[in-house]
């Protein structure tokens, strides 16, 4: 049965506003996750309570400005580069076989993720540093996004903004490979299950595919995210703990064992399902009106 390609960057441009709102709604879960990853706190509810009591409700949105401003750019980069890589892979198929295989979609998505990491890496670096600072934390205090960026450049140089980039690239490649290929696989199964076409799928089915995709994506990629956060929250100069990605991996294993690589996964999964579901519902609804 014929299926349609994932919408292009032009399609998603009309949905950026709705996706930003969804992303903003998930920010409180994100800061709890980051605090658990970098400060070895074990209980999500206790972390959330401490933030509320010691820093106030607005603290749940620390570091949100950078990713929310950049989400439109990242969406455009991911989907436009996915289109480019998809066309390149499609040209390698035998004539008449225009539908990409799931392996090809994974590869195209992974390459799109690598492309996006050039922007998402620095944005997340700034976000992480803003999220981990609190009145009682040992982390350096920043007054905002600009102050954080200026400090990074002064203390670590231009390349310092890409700290943790190896872990970021590994996460982005695998994440977007799964994002495109698993979602498309689930949608194809829904279509084969009796619906007449992609456009006729009920919203709850699209949302289910999106939610499952987001949940699986984060469950499989979470250790990369832990290492990335630890490296990006690390100090400068003599205060720096991790000189390489391997240093962060080894330190995490020695201190916490395997649990250190999944700390904060709970709030992440609570956020991943709803955010991914709403994202894909918006994508599919927009494409119906083109």
Residue 186's alpha-carbon distances to 28, 54, 180, in angstroms, are 29, 43, 10
Residue 82 and residue 90 in contact, taking contact as beta carbons nearer than 8 Å: no
The whole-number pLDDT of residue 4 equals: 47
Residue 13 and residue 76 in contact, taking contact as beta carbons nearer than 8 Å: yes
d(CA 169, CA 82): 16
The whole-number pLDDT of residue 1 equals: 38
Residues of the chain with pLDDT under 50: 1-4
The whole-number pLDDT of residue 28 equals: 81
Q: Could you state, in order of their start, the residue ranges of all structural domains in the chain? A: 9-288
d(CA 224, CA 118): 16
Query: Among 228, 236, 230, 66, which Cα is nearest to 154's?
Result: 236
Query: Among 8, 9, 121, which Cα is nearest to 72's?
Result: 9
The whole-number pLDDT of residue 16 equals: 57
pTM: predicted TM-score of the whole model, two decimal places: 0.86
The whole-number pLDDT of residue 60 equals: 82
- Which residue is associated with the tokens 């994508």? 283
- Quick one: fold of 9-288? Mitochondrial carrier fold (1.50.40)
The whole-number pLDDT of residue 128 equals: 94
Query: Among 257, 231, 167, 254, which Cα is nearest to 38's?
Result: 231
The whole-number pLDDT of residue 290 equals: 55
Residue 98 and residue 90 in contact, taking contact as beta carbons nearer than 8 Å: yes
- Which residue is associated with the tokens 């010691």? 54
């Amino acid at each position: 049965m014929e299926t349609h390609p994932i919408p292009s960057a032009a399609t998603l441009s009309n949905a950026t506003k709705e996706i930003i709102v969804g992303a903003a709604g998930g920010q409180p879960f994100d800061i709890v996750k980051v605090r658990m990853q970098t400060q070895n706190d074990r209980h999500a509810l206790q972390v959330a309570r401490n933030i509320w009591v010691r820093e106030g409700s607005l603290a749940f949105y620390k570091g949100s400005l950078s990713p929310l401003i950049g989400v439109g750019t990242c969406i455009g980069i991911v989907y436009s580069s996915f289109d480019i890589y998809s066309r390149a892979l499609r040209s390698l198929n035998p004539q008449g076989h225009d539908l990409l295989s799931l392996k090809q979609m994974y590869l195209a998505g992974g390459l799109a993720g690598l492309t996006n990491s050039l922007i998402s890496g620095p944005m997340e670096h700034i976000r992480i540093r803003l999220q981990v600072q609190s009145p009682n934390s040992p982390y350096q205090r920043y007054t905002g996004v600009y102050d954080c960026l200026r400090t990074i450049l002064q203390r670590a140089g231009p390349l310092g903004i890409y700290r943790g980039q190896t872990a970021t690239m590994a996460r982005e490649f695998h994440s977007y490979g799964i994002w495109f290929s698993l979602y498309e696989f689930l949608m194809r199964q829904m279509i084969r299950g009796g619906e007449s076409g992609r456009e006729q799928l009920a919203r709850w089915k699209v949302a289910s595919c999106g939610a499952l995709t987001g949940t699986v994506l984060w469950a499989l990629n979470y250790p990369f995210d832990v290492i990335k956060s630890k490296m990006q929250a690390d100090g400068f100069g003599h205060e720096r703990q991790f000189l390489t990605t391997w240093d962060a991996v080894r330190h995490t294993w020695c201190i916490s064992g395997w649990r250190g690589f999944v700390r904060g996964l709970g709030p992440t999964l609570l956020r991943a399902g709803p955010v991914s579901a709403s994202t894909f519902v918006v994508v599919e609804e927009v494409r119906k009106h083109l």
